[in-house]
Amino acid sequence: MRIAIPLFDRFTALDAVGPYEVLKFLPDVEIVFVAAASGPIRDVPKWLAITADATFAEVDSCDVLLVPGGPGSRQLLDNRPLLDWIGRMHEGSSWTTSVCTGSLLLAAAGLLEGRSATTHWGAVDVLESFGAIYTAERVVFNGKIVTAAGVSSGIDMALALVARIADQTTAEAVQLAIEYDPQPPFDAGSPAKASQAAKDLLTRGIR
């Protein structure tokens, strides 16, 4: 089973690494990081790099497509080479997935029109501008397309996907292996729960 994860400048690291850490446990799996050019691709704020070992031209099919998000995704919504590649991968994939604003790239590629999907809460308007139907859920399955909400939800999505590709016991074993037992110290993980002070700080910019 080949899992392809496209990378681009200013992607969000956890969008890619979270699901990778889960999906790597699948049997007979090959995970390939892909980009326009091979080599290190920098995240936000360019402190971490993941190496792309293959270019889009070198990967012509996959079983699972996993598109991460990040601020850089918004600059790629009219990047035809990337969007066309996503479309080609989707044609032959068993599963086409996204995390966070990676769903904007799926939408820009024409895959989400009229479909329910989720994304980071700050990108709902962009998602809907492509004809997708925003659903405020952490993980949304719509046929073979699976979208996850913001950043950390990619882990949830990957575990749910393992349960479908393998079985629930395997997914539970993977969850145990990574000791994924969320107990957040604050109940501020969504706009509905966060304090106004936290929202204001985020709007001004934490960094």
Q: What is the pLDDT of residues 180-203, one digit of tens each?
A: 999 999 999 999 999 999 999 998
pLDDT in tens, 22-59: 999 999 999 999 999 999 999 998 899 999 999 999 99
pTM over 0.85: yes
**pLDDT higher than threshold 70 for residue 69:** yes
Decide if pLDDT at 144 tops 70. Answer: yes
For residue 124, give the CATH number of its domain: 3.40.50.880
Can the peptide bond before residue 81 be classed as cis, meaning omega within 30 degrees of 0? no
CB-CB contact of 165 with 26 (8 Å): yes
Domains in the chain, number: 1
Residues with a catalytic annotation lie at: 100
Asked if residue 102 lies in contact with residue 111, where contact means CB atoms within 8 angstroms, the answer is no
Q: Which strand (E) or helix (H) includes residue 5?
A: strand 2-6
Phi-psi sector, 70: left (phi>0), alpha (psi -120 to 50), beta: left
Contacts for 193-198 with beta carbons within 8 Å, 24 or more apart? none
Q: What angle do CA 25, 29, 32 make, to 5 degrees?
A: 110
Residue numbers of the domain that contains 99: 2-204
Supply the DSSP symbol for 24. T
